[in-house]
Structure 1
Amino acid sequence: MKWSTYLVDFKTYLRLERGLSDNTIDNYEYDIKRLISFLNDNQNSVSPITIKKEIVQQFIYKISKDLSPRTQARIISGLRNFFDYLVFENYRETNPVDLIESPRLGRKLPDTLSVEDIDNIISAIDLSYEFRGINLGHRNKAILESLYSCGLRVSELTDLKISDLYFDEGFIKVSGKGNKERFVPIGKATQNLITIWLDIRSNINISTESKDILFLNYKGNKLTRAMVFTIIKKLVNKIGLKKTVSPHTFRHSFATHLLENGADLRAIQMMLGHESITTTEIYTHIDKSHLNKVINTFHPRKQKTL
C-alpha cells in the first residue's frame, strides 16, 4: 500500500476510535505529509512499513533548521502516533520514532490582555456597521464578548449552535476537543448581545447546513475561524494596541482574570474544557506574577527600607 492509503486509514482511526476533532486530525495529516514530501525530495521510495529510524532522524534534522523546538516536538509526536497506529494494526513490529527524543521545551506562558485592553477592543466596534444590508457590528460585539465571557476556543465559537443556548438556566453547551461536551456559564450582558444578533440573524437568507449555527456571515453561511481572526486584527489595529492578539488571547485572558479574582482552579479547568488539571495550572504561573505585584504595591514591609 502507498503512504496515502495508510494515512487515510489512520485518519479514520483518529476520528472514529479516538474521537479527535477535524482540526487535530488535519494537523496529524499535515505533519505526516511533511515526512512524505521529504522522502519525495530525496527520491526515497521507502514505505511506512519499511522506513527506519535513521531516515526519520534525517528528516527531523532537516526541519530543525527552520522550525521552532515547539513545532518540532509537535511533528515528532504526530509521527510517533502514526507509527504507533501501524504497530497496533500489526503492519510493522516497531515504531521508528520511539527512540527519537523531542527537543526540551520551556513552559510557554500564554499571552493575555488586561481588562482595559479588552474593553478598548470591544468599544472600538462600530455597532452601525452593515454589509449588504446586514448589521454585522452587533454580531462582532456578540462574538468577542462570547470569546471572553465564556473562554471559548475559536472553533467552539464558530461551531456554537442556537440549540446550544440555555439562557433560562444561564449556560451554553460547548462541543470541545474530541467532541466532548461541557456546559459553560454565560452572563446576562452576553446573553443580551446574542439576543440582539439573533434578531438581526432572522433577516438573513440562511443556507440549509447553517440553520442552527449561531454566528453567520452575510451570505448565511457558518463563520470561518479566519474571519474571527480578521475581525480581531482590524480592531486591534484600529485602537493602536501593540500586542499580538488572537481569539485564543481572549480565552487566556478569561482564565487569567478569573484566577486573579480568586476563582477555583478546578472550576476554571471545567469551564475551559481541559482534560487534565496540569494544563490549567499554567495560569497559576501568571497569577504568581500578579500576586508578586500586589505584595510589592501594598505590603508595608515592601515599602519600608530596613
Structure 2
Amino acid sequence: MWEKEIQSFGNYLKIERGLSGHSHEAYLRDVRKLAAYLAPILGEKWPLTDLKEEHILSFLKDLHSLGIEASTQARCLSGLRSFFHYLTFDGHIEQDPTWHIKSPQQGRKLPDTLSLDEINQILEQNDMSTPEGVRNRAMLEMLYGAGMRVSELTQLKLTDVYEDIGFLKVRGKGDKERLVPAGKDAFRYLKIYLESVRSQIPVKKEALNYVFLNRRGGSLSRVMVFIICKDLAAKAGITKSISPHTFRHSFATHLIEGGADLRAVQEMLGHESILTTEIYTHLDRAYLSQMVRDFHPLNKRM
C-alpha cells in the first residue's frame, strides 16, 4: 500500500533532507505502520488522495489503546506530517490530512531533586585532600550555586568569571550568553581551586582559558562531570537518579521554595520560555503538600 510514494519519500529524506540512517528508517517505519493499519480497513489499493483526517485520528487512537506512550505517538505523528507535507509539496495530494491534528499531550516529567541535607551529604564524600577533590568541590558548588548546565560548566572560561561583582558569564543553548549570580561558597571554592590546583597544572594550549581541567591539563568532559556526580552520590548512599543536571534542578527548586520570583529564576536558568521554568512550581507544590502531610497537627493525630 502506497509503496511507490513511500520509496519516493525515502529518497527525498536521504537526498534533500540529508537525514541520518536512523531518522530515515524511523520516518519510513511510521508511514508503513499507518499503511498496515489502514490496509484491512480501506483495502490495499486505497488512493492517498482519498485519505482523510479521520483516518489518521483513528490510527492514533489505536496506538493510544495499545498503551503506546504519548511521546511515541507524538514522534509517529511527526513522521506522518513529514510524509504528507512532502506529498503536498510534490503534488501527489492537494491537502495534508494531518494539518489540523494536534500532537498528543505528553505531560512533563518532574525531575529528581536533592534536599539541602542530601547535597551536604554528597559534598562530605568529596576528598578535599586531593587536587581532583578540590576541583570537584568547586564544580559542585558552581552547579548548585549558579544552576549551570554541565555544558556551561565545562565551557566556562577564566575571562567569564567576575568575582568582584559575584557573577559568571555563561554560554547556554544556541550560544546565547547570560550573566548568572553565584553564591559566596561557589566563588570561595573556585578561588581555592584556581590558586592551589589549576595554577600547578601544565595546561595544554587549547585549554588555556578554560576554568576546569582534567589532570592532564586538558578541558574537562561532560561525561567526567557526570561520573563524578554519580560516584559521590553513590558513596553518600543516595539512590535517586543523580546527574549534574540534578544540581541545577535543586538550585531552581530551592529558590522557588524560598519565594524567588519565577521570572528571575527563568533568567538565571536561561530558559527561552517561562513555561519551561514553571515545572519547578509543580515541584514546589509537591513540597508544600509533603509539609502539610508531615507537620499539620490533624495528620499527626491519625
TM-score (normalised: structure 2) = 0.71
Task: Supply the distance in 2 between the matched residues of 1:145 and 1:252 (Cα, whole angstroms).
Answer: 14
State the one-letter code of the partner of 2:117.
E
State the one-letter code of the partner of 2:239.
K
User: CA distance change for structure 1 residues 6 and 211 in 2, over 3 Å: closer, same or farther?
Assistant: farther
State the one-letter code of the partner of 2:189.
L
Task: Supply the distance in 1 between the matched residues of 2:200 and 2:98 (Cα, whole angstroms).
Answer: 54
Is residue 13–residue 24 contact of structure 2 (8 Å, CA) maintained in 1?
A: no
1:259 matched to 2:256? The reply is yes
Identity %: 46
| RMSD between superposed Cα atoms in Å | 3.9
1:35 matched to 2:41? The reply is no
Is residue 81–residue 98 contact of structure 2 (8 Å, CA) maintained in 1?
A: no
Task: Supply the distance in 1 between the matched residues of 2:81 and 2:181 (Cα, whole angstroms).
Answer: 35
Q: Over residues 33-54 of structure 1, what are the superposed CA-to-partner deviations in whole Å (9 max), with x where a residue is unaligned?
A: 5537859xx9xxxxxxxxx999
Task: Supply the distance in 2 between the matched residues of 1:122 and 1:5 (Cα, whole angstroms).
Answer: 52
Task: Supply the distance in 2 between the matched residues of 1:30 and 1:147 (Cα, whole angstroms).
Answer: 36
Residue 249 of structure 1 aligns to a residue whose secondary structure is helix
Is residue 149–residue 186 contact of structure 1 (8 Å, CA) maintained in 2?
A: yes
Residue 182 of structure 1 aligns to a residue whose secondary structure is strand
Is residue 256–residue 286 contact of structure 1 (8 Å, CA) maintained in 2?
A: yes
Q: Deviation at 1:226?
A: 1.0
Corresponding residue for residue 123 of structure 1: 124
Residue 168 of structure 2 aligns to a residue whose secondary structure is strand
User: CA distance change for structure 1 residues 278 and 220 in 2, over 3 Å: closer, same or farther?
Assistant: same
Task: Supply the distance in 2 between the matched residues of 1:304 and 1:95 (Cα, whole angstroms).
Answer: 61
Is residue 167–residue 181 contact of structure 2 (8 Å, CA) maintained in 1?
A: yes
User: Counterparts in 2 of 1:196-215, with a 5 A limit?
Assistant: 196-199=192-195, 200-215=197-212
- Which ranges of structure 1 fall in alignment gaps of 5 or more residues? 11-28, 43-51, 130-134
State the one-letter code of the partner of 2:267.
M
Corresponding residue for residue 154 of structure 2: 158
Corresponding residue for residue 173 of structure 2: 177
- Which ranges of structure 2 fall in alignment gaps of 5 or more residues? 1-10, 34-48
Larger radius of gyration: 2
**Matching residue within 273, 282, 290 for 2:287:** 290
State the one-letter code of the partner of 2:215.
Y
State the one-letter code of the partner of 1:35.
A
Corresponding residue for residue 36 of structure 2: none
Residue 288 of structure 2 aligns to a residue whose secondary structure is helix
State the one-letter code of the partner of 2:168.
I
Is residue 31–residue 75 contact of structure 1 (8 Å, CA) maintained in 2?
A: no
Residue 172 of structure 1 aligns to a residue whose secondary structure is strand
User: CA distance change for structure 1 residues 209 and 285 in 2, over 3 Å: closer, same or farther?
Assistant: same
User: CA distance change for structure 1 residues 80 and 190 in 2, over 3 Å: closer, same or farther?
Assistant: farther
